[in-house]
Amino acid sequence: MEEHRVFPALHEALRQGQAVALCIVVATRGSTPRRVGSKMLVYPDGRIVGTVGGGETEHRVVQEALDALREGRPRLLEYRLVDPKRGDPGVCGGEMHIYVEPVQPPPTLVVVGAGHVGRALAELGKWVGFRVVVSDDRAELCTPEAIPEADECLPGPVSELPQRLTITPQTYIALVTRGSPVDVDALPALLTSPAAYIGVIGSRRRWLTTVQALRERGVSEEAIARVRAPIGLDIAAETPQEIAVSIMAEIIAAYRGGRRAHGLRRQVEVPRDGEPPRRAAQS
């Protein structure tokens, strides 16, 4: 009956934005501990649901599944269960073929700020296939009724967001807040996370003000350099919807691994020793 828990556990993992590896016995010959169709789910921390036979065979499958998760590629495993002295994982006498498929959840777009741009960005992010989480310290703006496109609404202090949300290398964070003080509260914790992308909306002057405040809080230059600011591709956007398009285009570029997203727009070079800010050349 343990096997019947595999698909519900897979569904729940994807709902929570967690990657897992699905392992299925696809062929057997002779005496084997499990039949064709037996399934096991492997989590990144090594936990399992279901079984493909237990013992040394299962231990090896778990290790292969963890490698598949790290590499993002499926694999077909073949085991002879005959002679452990030759390196076989068992003595049943048969053979097993096990297919391992890393299952990645859709990428998560975290929209910090539920104003005009935040709402437009949530709608667009959902439309292009991202899981969308919206956070704002103004609880009345951060509700399913106000932003029906959001998969999850997290009202409350933005500084507490990393404690309330699992942030992974599949997470893309857009701070489209109402001002620099909110960004300064949010960024120190976010910059220690493994998020793939962190961008901040606002003018160049606003970003330089934010940088100075972050330095005063002890945030390192390396951490500050992770931020894309001003956020979005330079498409001369004006309306909230146009700004959302510019932001989402940059995030998609980062997600798909194409041209460096920050190379597609003008970007502030944050001065380190008091010199005036300069614009990087637009590629």
Residues 65 and 24 in one domain: yes
Assess whether 52 and 181 both reside in one domain.
no
Residue 223: CA count within 13 A, CB half-sphere: 16
pTM, rounded to two decimals: 0.73
Same domain, 25 and 56: yes
- Provide the domain count of the chain: 2
Q: Are the CB atoms for 88 and 81 separated by under 8 Å? A: yes
Q: Are residues 83 and 165 in the same domain?
A: no
User: The domain that contains 180 carries what CATH number?
Assistant: 3.40.50.720
Residue 220 exposed, middle or buried by CB count within 10 Å (0-12, 13-18, 19+): exposed
What pLDDT score was predicted for residue 23? 96
Give dist(CA 6, CA 14) in Å, integer.
12
Print the domain residue range for 66. Answer: 2-6+15-103
Query: 81 and 47, same structural domain?
Result: yes
Task: Based on the fold, state whether residues 163 and 275 are members of the same structural domain.
Answer: yes
Q: Are residues 178 and 244 in the same domain?
A: yes
Regarding whether 140 and 229 lie in a shared domain, the answer is yes
Q: Is 71 in the same domain as 163?
A: no
Q: Give the C-alpha separation, 271 to 74, whole Å.
A: 45
DSSP 151-193: SEEEES-GGGHHHHS---TTEEEEE--SSHHHHHHHHHHHTTS
Q: What is the pLDDT along the chain (283 residues), one digit of tens a residue?
A: 567 899 999 999 988 778 999 999 999 988 888 899 999 999 999 999 999 888 888 899 999 999 999 888 999 999 887 656 665 556 576 888 999 999 988 899 999 999 999 999 999 999 999 999 999 999 999 999 999 999 999 999 988 999 999 888 889 999 999 999 999 999 999 999 999 999 999 999 999 999 999 999 999 999 999 999 999 999 999 999 999 999 999 999 999 885 444 444 445 555 564 554 444 333 2
Q: Which amino acid is at 222?
A: E
Residue where a domain terminates, one of 103, 129, 163: 103
List 173's β-bridge partners, or say none.
110, 198
Q: Are residues 45 and 131 in the same domain?
A: no
Q: Are residues 238 and 145 in the same domain?
A: yes
Q: Are residues 114 and 225 in the same domain?
A: yes
Final residue before a domain boundary, out of 103, 131, 157: 103
Choose one of 103, 131, 164: the last residue of a domain: 103
The pLDDT assigned to 268 comes to 53
